[in-house]
Structure 1
Amino acid sequence: MRSFDKFYRLFQKTLRDLYTEPKEIESLFFLLMTHIFKCDKTTVLLQLSNKKKINFLIYKTLIKKLWELKKNRPIQYVIEKAYFFGMEFIVNEKVFIPRPETEELVSWILQDNKNTRNIPIFDIGTGSGCIGITLKKKNPEIGHIYAIDFYQEVLNIARKNAELHNVEISFQKVDLLKDSISIPPKMDENSVSIIVSNPPYVRLSERKLLHPNIIQYEPFQALFVPDEDPLIFYKKISFWIKKKLIGIVYVYFEINQFIYLDIIDFLKKIGFLNIEIRKDFQGFFRMIRAVYYVKK
């Protein structure tokens, strides 16, 4: 038998070379313990102070998870869940871990569409489904969500998350670089739609700037684009809008802060209007909004 306090000390000792900030190690500890024991942080703190014993089988599980963390595996993959907008999402190595920057993008959309009703929303490159699901959960009247991704395994995870949060979403398996996304019928020049996408945007030459656990474990296809064409996904989405949609289209993109001027220039050149760019909480240009008016 082992106790909470002894495991806590072992946890800190094992990870201190990987994480220089004690607060970060503490955060990982409580995420793991609340997940394994299905309790809140206060309960774990109480068990720590009481030096509560840990069942041998549970302790074996904790040690296994600790060694996964020692190998740089992100805590979200270790416990197979991540939090986004205070909501729990199922994740694994097939999907990109939801980030705070993307929460800011979703906040922007929700602020702009407080009174929006029954407008189709295309969540392109849905991943875990966190963007579309959160939009629908926070504003149930906003409109129907069409979640698009290339990999069936990814869509399966997004579908599980939609079921977890009890929201109705349509899923489409589409290779965005080759195929076209299906659109709802009865769209005309008075139609309004919203496009949101957090596509791959990290240039291969920027790999060295990323934390090792991102490179080791997060899906390559959800992260990287070729240096010679870093706007490839923005181009595909934008040209699809011009070719297939009709009416007023509001576009929200998460972007690479190093090439934001290129994205602005591209959108202007192909006719997007009212372009606005915003910084994230770290002060990087990370989000862009634009409007396109599509006529027959």
Structure 2
Amino acid sequence: MESFYKFFRLFQKTLQDLYPEPKEVENLFFLLTTHIFRCDKTTILLRLSRKEKINFFIYDKLIKKLWELKKNRPIQYVIGQTYFFGLKFIVNEKVFIPRPETEELVSWILQDQDHHDNPVQVFDIGTGSGCISITLKKKKPEIIQHICAIDSDQEALDIACKNAKLHNVKISLKNVDILKNVIYKPQKMNKNTIYIIVSNPPYIRLSEKELLHPNIVQYEPYQALFVPDEDPLIFYKKISFWIKKRLTGIVYVYFEINQFIYLDIIDFMKKIGFLNIEIKRDFQGYFRMVRGVYYSN
């Protein structure tokens, strides 16, 4: 039998060319081993220091996972899960892996809701794993009365459904391609109901593809990432025109955006009538999210 220490050394050697930063390789190692052994990082560190043995069955499983990582497969897909806002979410190649930037977008929404007590209906457009909808419902169940999570891919919605069941929250899941169809609209439950539209749509231009890490391009769903260079605002336009046409009352809109074209997005939102537009930087300092308000009769 091989030891934890020997596997750790093999892990480092195998991935050092893909991930030159040793800390990143360490993080991957602990994500994999804590998942496989169903324990915390401290337990793995103790087993490493003691050079404990790994039985053949588990070692074979670890090696197979290591070769997946060697092929650039993201660790989240390798172990089939990730964490968002401290909550565990099931993921696979059918859904985009939730990012810290999207956590910041959700945090912004939650902070804003601290100042409101009216009932809220949420549309999460391009829901993917359902991480945005489920987190909002878990964190603000007393305010957010109804959430409609929309995606064009039924397999992505199947993952979102599993995650909703995992967290015991009720959200409405709708299979709709927003570029082709009218988005489902529930009836208002209350005359004071406020709408929140949140979306992390595809926003990476095809010309920016080479800037991405290979594991993103090779494994994450293409349709969740890229937009044509000639119309990079296509999803923002479709969502915004739908808001103008279909919703009445106060509508708060939160978008995750491409930092390279944030001025174009702001300009578009102003032109079609959004007010109180505010833009925020993410933890890396990039302009990554925007909020606007639309008042409709």
* Shorter-chain TM-score tier: over 0.9
- Taking structure 1 as reference, are residues 173 and 62 closer, same or farther at Cα in structure 2, changes over 3 Å only? same
Question: What is aligned with 2:141?
Answer: 140
The root-mean-square deviation of aligned C-alpha atoms, in Å, is 1.1
Paired AA for residue 74 in structure 1 = P
CA contact (8 A) 2:96 2:224 kept: yes
How far 1:142 moved relative to its partner?
2.6
Q: Does residue 186 of structure 1 match 2:154?
A: no
User: In 1, Cα distance between the equivalents of 2:215 and 2:117?
Assistant: 39
Shift of 1:182: 1.4
1:25-64 aligned within 5 A? 25-64=25-64
Provide the residue aligned with 2:129 in structure 1. 128
CA distance in 1, matches of 2:111, 2:14: 43
2:120 equivalent in structure 1: 119
Q: Contact 2:119/2:192 (CA < 8 Å) preserved in 1?
A: no
CA deviation after TM superposition for structure 1 residue 189, in Å: 6.9
**Structure 1 pair 225–116 and aligned structure 2 pair: CA distance change class (3 A):** farther
Between the aligned residues of both structures, percent identity stands at 76
8 Å contact 2:256–2:288 — kept in the other structure? yes
- The whole-number CA distance in structure 2 between the counterparts of 1:176 and 1:184 is 16
Letter in 1 for 2:71: K
Q: Distance in 2 between matches of 1:271 and 1:187?
A: 25
Q: Name the CA distance, whole Å, in 2 between partners of 1:118 and 1:45.
A: 47
| Whole-angstrom CA distance in 2 between matches of 1:117 and 1:70 | 50
Q: Which amino acid aligns with 1:67?
A: W
Which of 185, 197, 219 is the matching residue for 2:199? 197
Which position in structure 2 is the counterpart of 1:264? 266
Name the counterpart of 2:110. Answer: 110
Alignment of 1:228-247 (within 5 A): 228-247=230-249
Q: Could you report, residue by residue, the CA deviation over 1:26-57 in whole angstroms, capped at 9, with x for unpaired residues?
A: 00000000000011111111111111111101
Q: Distance in 1 between matches of 2:180 and 2:190?
A: 25
Stretches of 4+ moved more than 3 A in 1? 186-191
Q: Given the two structures, how large is their TM-score scaled by the length of structure 1?
A: 0.98
Q: Which runs of 5+ in 2 are unaligned?
A: none
Is the contact between residue 189 and residue 294 of structure 1 (CA under 8 Å) also seen in structure 2? no
What's the CA shift for 1:235? Answer: 0.3
Tell whether the 8 Å contact from 1:187 to 1:246 is kept in structure 2 after alignment: no
Q: TM-score scaled to structure 2, two decimals?
A: 0.97
1: CA distance, partners of 2:55 / 2:90: 26
SS, match of residue 249 in structure 1: strand
**1:107-156 deviation line (CA, Å, top 9, x unaligned):** 10000002445310000000000011111111111321110001110000
Cα 1:291–1:17 shift into 2, 3 Å: same
Query: 1:185-235 CA deviation, whole Å, 9 max, x = no partner?
Result: 137874411000000000000001111110011000000000000000000
CA distance in 2, matches of 1:30, 1:69: 13
Deviation string, structure 1 residues 2-23 (Cα, Å, up to 9, x no partner): 1111100100011111111111
How many residue pairs align between the two structures? 295
Question: How many angstroms apart in 2 are the aligned matches of 1:21 and 1:118?
Answer: 47
Counterpart of 2:279 in structure 1 is 277
Question: How is 1:10-21 mapped onto 2 (pairs within 5 angstroms)?
Answer: 10-21=10-21
User: Deviations 1:253-290 (Å, cap 9, x if unpaired)?
Assistant: 00000000000010110011000000001110000000
Match of residue 175 from structure 2: 173
Residues 116, 124 of structure 1: CA spacing in aligned structure 2 closer, same or farther, 3 A cutoff? farther
Residues in 2 aligned to 1:248 and 1:163: alpha-carbon distance in whole angstroms: 31
Corresponding residue of 1:73: 73
Question: Does the Cα contact within 8 Å between 1:188 and 1:247 map onto a contact in 2?
Answer: no
**Structure-2 separation of matches of 1:239 and 1:187:** 23
Partner of residue 227, structure 2: 225
Could you tell me which amino acid in structure 2 is paired with residue 31 of structure 1?
L
Mean alpha-carbon deviation: is it higher for 180-189 or for 73-82? 180-189
The alignment status of 1:91 with 2:91, answered yes or no, reads: yes
SS at match of 1:135: helix
Unaligned runs of 5+ in 1: none
Greater Cα shift, 178-187 or 2-11: 178-187
How far apart, CA to CA, are the structure 2 residues paired with 1:190 and 1:166? Answer: 27
Name the residue aligned to 1:252. 254
Distance 1:212 1:175 in 2: 27
1:294 counterpart residue number: 296
Do 1:150 and 1:176's aligned partners in 2 also have CA atoms closer than 8 Å? Answer: yes
